[in-house]
């Protein structure tokens, strides 16, 4: 019986299951450090039955391990106004942390 959870980190919500690897907003910590995420919901993945629902949260029920911290691919931001000779190019690389979900309590 597999379990899924909805966690909140970096102002975003993610649906996760045990063993899953995902990229989240940059977290403090080095490679191999264990982290816990604020959990909003825990459910059974086969039946879809909700086991626990937080009001507003359940606490730190999901634990994970940091795999790496890096920067994402470059995104080009272009500003342009026609007829005025105005053009600006700016590149941005968002930092992220890759984590592996180890356990959902």
Angle at 36 between CA 33 and CA 39, to 5 degrees: 160
Q: Rounded CA gap, 53 and 55, in Å?
A: 7
For 37-95, how does the pLDDT look when each residue is reduced to its tens digit (9 = 90+)? 999 999 998 888 999 999 889 999 999 999 999 999 999 999 999 999 999 999 999 99
Residues composing the chain: 105
> Looking at the 3D structure of the chain, how many domains does it have?
1
For 52-64, how does the pLDDT look when each residue is reduced to its tens digit (9 = 90+)? 999 889 999 999 9
Domain range holding 26? 3-104
């Amino acid at each position: 019986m597999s379990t899924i959870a909805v966690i909140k980190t970096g102002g975003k919500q993610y649906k996760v299951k045990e063993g899953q690897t995902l990229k989240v907003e940059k977290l403090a910590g080095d490679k191999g450090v264990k982290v816990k995420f604020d959990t909003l919901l825990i459910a059974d993945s086969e039946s879809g039955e909700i086991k626990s629902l937080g009001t507003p949260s359940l606490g730190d029920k999901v634990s994970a391990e940091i795999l790496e911290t890096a920067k994402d691919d470059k995104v080009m931001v272009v500003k342009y106004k026609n007829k005025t000779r105005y053009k600006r190019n700016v590149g941005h690389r968002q930092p992220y942390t890759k984590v592996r979900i180890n356990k959902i309590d």
